[in-house]
Amino acid sequence: MRLLLSQPSGVLVDASVRKVIAESDRGSFCLLPRHADTATVLVPGLLAYLDEDGEEVIVAVDEGILVKVGDHVRVACQRAVVAGDLGSAEATVRERFQTQSEREKRARSALLRLEADIMRRLGQLRS
């Protein structure tokens, strides 16, 4: 099977895989090459796949959509982090999301300063 996992910033995973394990709002499921085509909503959690060498790779995903058509599995989500093996997954995800949260805080702070400046200037125009 071919797994294509993308997020708004681009393609994160494009690999040939043996199986995909993910979690939807109805529970965990496994996709193998001959399984029926499906589409489902993913909940935030871990997506795992076995690469062609039989190595398990863990990806932390935000909520998203998974579509399997034939031998192609496509996943689209807002945020995702390839964590590697299960042992290092927690540390990798925590570090990546913490960095992203800090960037979001700085962006929000800049936006608040900009809004305050606009309000101040509007007040000066009315005077």
What is the SS3 assignment for the chain? CEEEEEECCEEEEEEEEEEEEEEECCEEEEECCCCCCEEEEECCEEEEEEECCCCEEEEEECCEEEEEECCEEEEEECCEEEEECHHHHHHHHHHHHHHHHHHHHHHHHHHHHHHHHHHHHHHHHHC
pLDDT of residue 65: 96
Cα–chain center distance at 59: 8
**Predicted TM-score of the model (pTM):** 0.67
pLDDT of residue 61: 87
Strand partners, 69: 72
Question: Would you give per-residue pLDDT tens digits along the chain (127 residues)?
Answer: 999 999 998 999 999 999 999 999 899 999 999 999 999 999 988 899 999 999 999 898 888 999 999 999 999 998 888 876 666 656 666 666 666 667 777 787 888 888 887 888 878 877 6
Residues 34, 84, 55, CA angle at the centre, nearest 5°?
Answer: 45
pLDDT of residue 111: 83
Q: Looking at the 3D structure of the chain, how many domains does it have?
A: 1
Q: Give me the domain span that covers residue 91.
A: 2-126
Q: What is the CATH number for 7?
A: 2.60.15.10
Side-chain-facing half-sphere of 98: CA atoms under 13 Å: 6
Give me the sign of the Cα torsion angle 104, 45, 53, 55: positive
pLDDT of residue 115: 83
pLDDT of residue 31: 95
Tokens of 10: 């681009």
